[in-house]
Amino acid sequence: MMTPPTTEHFEIALNTSAGQITTAVEVPTGFVPVTAIVPLIRRFGEEAQALEVARSTDAGKAPSCHKGCAACCRMLVPLSAPEAFALGEWVRSRPMDQQNRIVARLAEAKTQLLSQGLWERLSELCNAPEQPKDDALEVMNREYYALRLPCPFLEEEVCTIYEARPAACRELLVSSPPERCDDLINNSVDPISAPILVSTVLGLLWQELTKSPTRLIPLPVALDWAKGHEQKNQQTWKGVELLDRALDKTWRFLSQSMSRSGQDFVE
CA distance 178 to 70: 10
Give the per-residue pLDDT at 22: 93
> Is the residue at 21 inside a domain?
yes
Which phi and psi (to 5°) does residue 228 adopt? -70, -15
Does residue 209 sit within a domain? yes
Structural domains in the chain (count): 1
Q: Residue 265 domain-assigned?
A: no
Between β-strands 173-174 and 31-32, what pairing exists: parallel, antiparallel or unpaired? unpaired
Q: Are 207 and 214 in contact (CB under 8 A)?
A: yes
Give per-10-residue mean pLDDT for the chain (267 aa). 72 94 91 95 95 96 88 92 96 94 94 94 84 81 92 91 93 92 88 95 95 88 94 93 96 86 51
pLDDT at 216: 85
Q: Model confidence over 198-237: pLDDT tens digits?
A: 999 999 999 999 998 887 899 999 999 999 999 999 999 9
- Judge whether 266 lies within some domain: no
Strands 31-32 and 217-218, sheet pairing = unpaired
Residue 267: inside a domain: no
Note down the domain range covering 20: 7-260
Q: Is 73 exposed, middle or buried (0-12, 13-18, 19+ CB in 10 A)?
A: buried
Cα angle 226, 230, 233 (rounded to 5 degrees) comes to 100
